[in-house]
Structure 1
Amino acid sequence: MNKVIGIILLVVGIILLYFGYQAYNSPASEVSQAVTGETTDDAMWYLIGGVVAVIVGLYGTVRGRK
């Protein structure tokens, strides 16, 4: 994997984690957590996508071709 693609994935992953954190702490999510006991789907998808993108981006950056 190209190092540039790895860096791009790393940045995208960090952005997704930020949006996931914001969605997780939003008032709508807190109400949903109080009523159902579960996190909203949007927050979970942002967090899962962010973690996957960060892991793949780190791997691509460390192991990528020059």
Structure 2
Amino acid sequence: MFRFGYAVFRAGVLPRWSGVALVGTQGLPEAAQLFAAGVRDLGIAGMGAGLLAAGPASVSGA
């Protein structure tokens, strides 16, 4: 998940905060894992919302 989150942040195609949410929740102690899972889920949901807000991509050619 670290590499995926970093790639999302660097690419800037999806919301950058969602990449930070994925990277920031790695390696936390066991007591914080429940909270970290919620933050990760929000990050994934943010990526989906970003894709839906962008709309369909136009295909040119052919």
Specify the SS of the correspondent of 2:47. Answer: helix
Q: Which amino acid aligns with 2:52?
A: Y
Runs ≥4 in structure 1, deviation > 4 angstroms?
Answer: none
Bigger share in helix: 1
Residue 16 of structure 1, aligned match among 21, 37, 61: 21
Taking structure 1 as the reference length, the TM-score comes to: 0.50
Q: Which runs of 5+ in 2 are unaligned?
A: 1-11, 57-62
Match status 1:43 vs 2:56: no
TM-score normalised to the size of structure 2? 0.53
Q: Which amino acid aligns with 2:38?
A: W
Size of the alignment, in residue pairs? 45
Letter in 2 for 1:47: R
Q: Which one has more relative contact order, counting CA pairs under 8 Å at least 6 apart? A: 1
Q: Which has the larger radius of gyration?
A: 1
Percentage identity across paired residues of the two chains: 16
